[in-house]
Structure formats: structure tokens, C-alpha cells
Amino acid sequence: MFRVFVSSTSQDLQAHREAVRDAVLALGMHPVMMEHFPAMDADAVAACHQKVQDCDLFVGIYAHRYGYIPHQHTRSITELEYDWAGEAGIPRRVFVIDPDHPWPDSLRDPAHAAALDAFKQRVGREKVWATFTTPESLAARVSQSLAHDAGRVQRERQQQRRLLIGSVSLIAVLLALISAAVVLSRPDDDDSVGRLATAQAVAALNQTATAAAWTPTPTATPTLLPTATPLEGDPARTGEIVVVVAPFERTSGSAFTPEIDMLEVLRQAAAEAGDVRVIGIGHPLADRAQAQQVSDLYGATMVVYGRTAPGGVTAHYEITPRDGFVDFEAEGEYRVSTAQLDNFEAFLYEGMDVNYILGLTAGQLHYFEDDLDGAVRSFSLATDALDPRRADDLHAYVLYFFRGNCYAFQEAYDQAVADYDEALRLNPDLAEGYVNRGLTHVRLGRYEQAIADYDRALAIDPAYINAYHSRAEAAYDLGRLGAAIDDYTRILELDPGDVAAYQNRGLAYHDQGLLAQALDDYNHALALAPDDADLYANRALVYADRGDFENALADVNRAIDLDPQFALAYGIRGALYYFQGDRERALADLREYARLAGDEASPDILAILAELEGTE
């Protein structure tokens, strides 16, 4: 059950607190409330601090009292609770009394008016708050906010964070007197790429009269579209990205037509991106069920729909990748996954947030199309349009995470780190951000910083398998074979079918001279992936070190059968023939190795090839 810490002064807000308590309970959450603060000693303050840290969400309610200031503290317990939640990375939702609402003088605190005013001003700089008047109005605002927060937290907890595709690295091991290379494997692309857990970007209503008056329309029972609904554009072709934009439902008093702006911006972005087509349809959509139907009818990657309100618009984005996830690979075998938005909603203020969300949406289209320059341009326009006070409500960490990925793919590693830094500042619980930043640190040669980032990711999500893979690979590169083996062992406890973990642990065991353990791991890996040429090449090296040339040759022959262009396999087989005295076969295989390996050929193998050619 989600735990919600309700923070406020109690003497003046008793009825309001009771209304919030009932609203939290009605949402199936557990309210944590410190109803009557006595004169608190250090132990009691520490206990309160712990209760805040133990919660999932924080609600701050502030009226005209500053609150009790504990002994040896300069801030009230109410302000301390707000700061503790921020330090712990707990989402904070703030509600402040309408300054024009009548309030009894007996419930004011003139002695601490200056401190209260300074606190409110600081909160206003950090958060967008909603105002309230009666207990009923406060309960309604809290319910609206927490309903969306609960969905976000649940999705983030349930999301299997397997975002990053690791690089395929060649790690040197000795085969007799020859330095050959074996493959350090990472999980298969289809298994290790997951969606970025992105929350619904729902803005708290601000203090303006128009926005405060807006109330969302209750979601009706999903109405299915008629099966004979005529298409207003051709369905997506293979490799094509289609975006469908539906008319927004109008509410009384609104002349705002956001879909017109969106169509124009998206079509411009589509024209720049290439195989992207934007379709405007003539009928509005009521809910996700209809959006998903439209997505299926058109084979669309994205469906945009929503409704207007005085002063703004609620926009919904349904995103459904059609051909799996596209992976970007930059030179140097640096890979990061293409995590993307799944479904999100935002209340956008007219003339303020729309440019931000359009920049983010256009950036997504470029991103899908592997147009990294276009994606950076669009994401940068979104950052320019972002009101820093709205960064939390619009979940701007997603924007910085995406742009950081773009920079990483472009090998602009310092810029990538800066964007990951900002994403993690806005969302300190983004485990994927730590892993991506860690991979970028590796590219910059900062292995210790990378390992520290992987540690942070695993502290957030102890079952984050790709964080273990990344940390193990960094440990391996630093020669910390025991640490790498420990991480691969942990992966196999979490997922006994992880072929890469068996393969890489086998490699680490081999480097330690533990040939029996290495052979056992390769046998397990091949039982799971019997057609993996790399595994046969790796096991052939173990057999060769054991002096079992017959099985070594059998394995390397199998590797070449599976992949006739596998340079390393020819190098291994040529070396085996060389040590068996079969110079003719050795010469043929080593020549083929040199041809296939090109500039990456091992100097040691080339030296033997030169020796053989010199004695022809």
C-alpha cells in the first residue's frame, strides 16, 4: 500500500487534515499523520524524519501558521518535513490556502509571519502549487493529484528496467603462445531493451482563476470504434512511422485548437525525419481504448488526442512501437537502448507548455527515425520552452534522459553526462539514468565513477539485471575478476536463463585459470543457445588450454559452420593446426583470418602467418 505523509500544522487545519485523510484512504493509500506535535526532543524529530523517508508520496498543506520549531533547530517541523521529503527524492505535492479566503485571526501566527512567508516563497520557486479554501476543495485537489501519482509509482515499481544493450567487446586471452580474442557477451537485444518507466505528466492546477476552475471530465466506459470505420489515410507501410492526431473535444468557453498546431509541427518534423507520416482524422477519441484501436487500424506509432478547457488543454499521447525497439549504435560499439514513452497525459497551459510538449513530441519522431541531429534540435527547443517551475509536473527528466542518449550515441559524452546529471537531479530514483551515465563514464575512461553509478542504480532496484551486467563488465576491464564473477552469479540467481552471464562468467573463470568452472559455464550457455558461434569459439579455447585439441577443433569447426565469416574462429583453428604441425591448413586458415579481421587482426597471429609464408 502506498504511504502518503500528510504534513501541515494541526491546530488550524484539523478539519482539512481529516478531509485529506479520508481522501487518501478512499484512494486505497495509507495516510501517515502526526496529529499533535508536543515539545519534541531530538529522538522525536529523528523519528519524524524516518517516517517521512518511509513514505512514497508527500502532501504539504500550508495556511497561516508556521508551526513548532524544535529545540536546536531554526526551521519549523513543517518546513523540515518538506525538506526531508525533497532530500529523499519523494514526490512532493503542495497545497496553499487561497490568500483571499477568509481566515480567523485566532488561527494565524503573527509571531512567525516572516518565516512562514519566506518558506512559502521558497516553495513557490521550487514547486507549482494548488490553492484551496474549504476542506472539501482541498480533498478534491489532493485526490486528483494523488490518483495520478499512484499510477506513476505503481508503474515505476512494476517496470522491469532492462534498458541498456551492452557492447560486444573483444577480450584478450592466451591460446598457447598466441593472443586471440573472445567475445564478452551481453543480453540479447530483444530481451534487454525495455521501456523507460515514465509517469503521467499531470500538472497541479496553479493559482490562476481559469486553470483552478477546470475539472477533468470523468472517463466514461470505453466506447469501441465501429469496425467499419473508414480510414482517412493509408496504414503504415513496413519501416514507416505513422502519427495520428484526432480533434480535441471542446469544453464550454474554449476556442483553443491545439490539434492544428500539433499537426503543423508534427508534419514539419515528419518531413525532416524521413519515413514518418502524420494523419489528421475527423473524429475525436474518448479514451485509451479508442486510441489503441486507432493505433491498430493505422499501424500507428503514436496517437495524439485530448480535450480543451478554459486556459489550457489536456493532451494524451498513446505510443505503440510497431517493429520492436530500434537500437542506435555509435562508433566504438557504444550502445544505449531506445527507451521511449509509453502513454502519458499532461495538462498544458495555453501559450506556455504547448511549445514544450510539441518539442518533446517532435524529438520523439526524430528519435524513432534514428535522426539524432533532428532529435537534439527538437529536444533543445523543448528545454528552451520549459518553465523550470513546471519541470516536476511535466516530468522533464524524461526530456533530459532522451537528449542525453542522443548525445551519447553521437559520442558527445560530456554533453551526455550533463544531461544525465540534470535528469537525475529532477528524478533521483531513475535507475536507468545512473546506468546510462555509467556507460558514458566508461567511454570517458572514468571506471570508478561508472561503478559508483551502477551501485546507485542497484541500490534503487536490486533486481536490475543490466546494471549488474554493466558493473561486471567495468570490473572485468579493471581486472577485478572476482567482483565480475560475483555480479554474474547474482544475475544467474535472478535469471537462470541469462546466456550472457554464463558466457561472461566462463570467460572470467578462464582468465583465473579455473578451467573446469569455465567449461561448466560454457556448457550451460550452449544448452540454452546451441547455435551461438561465439560460445563454441570460447569453449574451444578452454579445451585448447586443457590440451584437448580434438574437442577444441570440433567446437571451432562448429563455430565456422554457424558463421562462415567469423574471423576469430579461423584464427583459433589456424593456431590449433599450427601447434599440431599441420602447416598447410594453418596457413590457409590464418590467411582467411587476416582477410576477415583486417585492421583488427592480432599482431601475434599475423607474426605466425608471416613465419609460415616465409617458409613456403
- In the structure, what pLDDT confidence band is assigned to residue 227 with cuts at 50, 70 and 90? very low
Grid cell digits, residue 232: 482517412
* Residue 22 main-chain phi, psi, to 5 deg: -65, -35
| pLDDT score for 170 | 18
Q: Which is more confidently placed, 4 or 221?
A: 4
Q: Given a cut of 70, is residue 448 above it in pLDDT?
A: yes
Q: Given a cut of 50, is residue 524 above it in pLDDT?
A: yes
Which range has the worst mean pLDDT, 134-138, 319-323, 341-345? 341-345
Mean of pLDDT values over 494-515? 93
% of the chain exceeding 70 in pLDDT: 73
* Residue 399 main-chain phi, psi, to 5 deg: -60, -50
Q: Given a cut of 80, is residue 382 above it in pLDDT?
A: yes
Grid cell digits, residue 559: 563455430
- In the structure, what pLDDT confidence band is assigned to residue 251 with cuts at 50, 70 and 90? low
Which range has the worst mean pLDDT, 48-57, 78-87, 208-217, 331-340? 208-217
3-157 belongs to which CATH class? alpha beta
- In the structure, what pLDDT confidence band is assigned to residue 270 with cuts at 50, 70 and 90? low
3-state secondary structure at position 554: helix
Residues 6+ apart with CB under 8 A from 101: 133
Mean of pLDDT values over 154-174? 26
Which range has the worst mean pLDDT, 164-173, 439-448, 545-554? 164-173
Q: Which is more confidently placed, 276 or 398?
A: 398
Supply the mean pLDDT for the chain: 76
Q: Given a cut of 60, is residue 176 above it in pLDDT?
A: no
Give the chain's largest Cα–Cα span.
106
Q: Given a cut of 90, is residue 84 above it in pLDDT?
A: yes
The per-residue pLDDT for range 95-131, each reduced to its tens digit, is: 999 888 999 989 998 999 999 999 998 888 777 688 8
The per-residue pLDDT for range 395-439, each reduced to its tens digit, is: 788 889 889 988 988 889 999 999 999 999 998 988 889 999 999
| pLDDT score for 70 | 85
C-alpha span between 65 and 594 (Å, rounded): 79
- In the structure, what pLDDT confidence band is assigned to residue 36 with cuts at 50, 70 and 90? very low
- Asked if 460 and 473 count as a contact pair (C-beta separation under 8 A), the reply is no
- In the structure, what pLDDT confidence band is assigned to residue 515 with cuts at 50, 70 and 90? very high
Mean of pLDDT values over 496-519? 93
C-alpha span between 457 and 428 (Å, rounded): 10
| pLDDT score for 258 | 63
- Rounded to two decimals, the pTM is 0.56
Which range has the worst mean pLDDT, 78-82, 309-313, 506-510, 516-520? 309-313
Instruction: Residue 337: name the closest of 401, 428, 271 by CA.
Output: 401
Mean of pLDDT values over 532-540? 94
Instruction: Residue 231: name the closest of 271, 306, 278, 282 by CA.
Output: 282
The CATH 3.40.50.10140 domain(s) of the chain lie at: 3-157
% of the chain exceeding 90 in pLDDT: 35
Mean of pLDDT values over 247-276? 66
- In the structure, what pLDDT confidence band is assigned to residue 539 with cuts at 50, 70 and 90? very high
3-state secondary structure at position 45: helix
- In the structure, what pLDDT confidence band is assigned to residue 487 with cuts at 50, 70 and 90? very high
For the ranges 84-93, 327-336, 456-465, the maximum mean pLDDT occurs at: 456-465
C-alpha span between 397 and 419 (Å, rounded): 9
| One-letter amino acid for residue 513 of the chain | G
DSSP letter string, 251-297: -TT----HHHHHHHHHHHHHHHHSSEEEEE-SS---SHHHHHHHHHH
| pLDDT score for 185 | 45
* Residue 300 main-chain phi, psi, to 5 deg: -80, 145
| pLDDT score for 255 | 57
| pLDDT score for 326 | 35
Q: Given a cut of 50, is residue 206 above it in pLDDT?
A: no
Count of CA atoms in the C-beta half-sphere (13 A) of 269: 33
| pLDDT score for 310 | 60
CA-CA-CA-CA torsion sign (409, 411, 412, 418): positive
For the ranges 8-22, 139-153, 296-310, the maximum mean pLDDT occurs at: 8-22
Which range has the worst mean pLDDT, 101-105, 181-185, 269-273, 517-521? 181-185
Q: Given a cut of 60, is residue 91 above it in pLDDT?
A: yes
* Residue 101 main-chain phi, psi, to 5 deg: -75, 130
Mean of pLDDT values over 217-245? 62
| pLDDT score for 33 | 85
Question: In terms of C-beta density within 10 A (0-12 exposed, 13-18 middle, 19 or more buried), how is residue 496 classed?
Answer: exposed
| pLDDT score for 376 | 92
| pLDDT score for 253 | 56
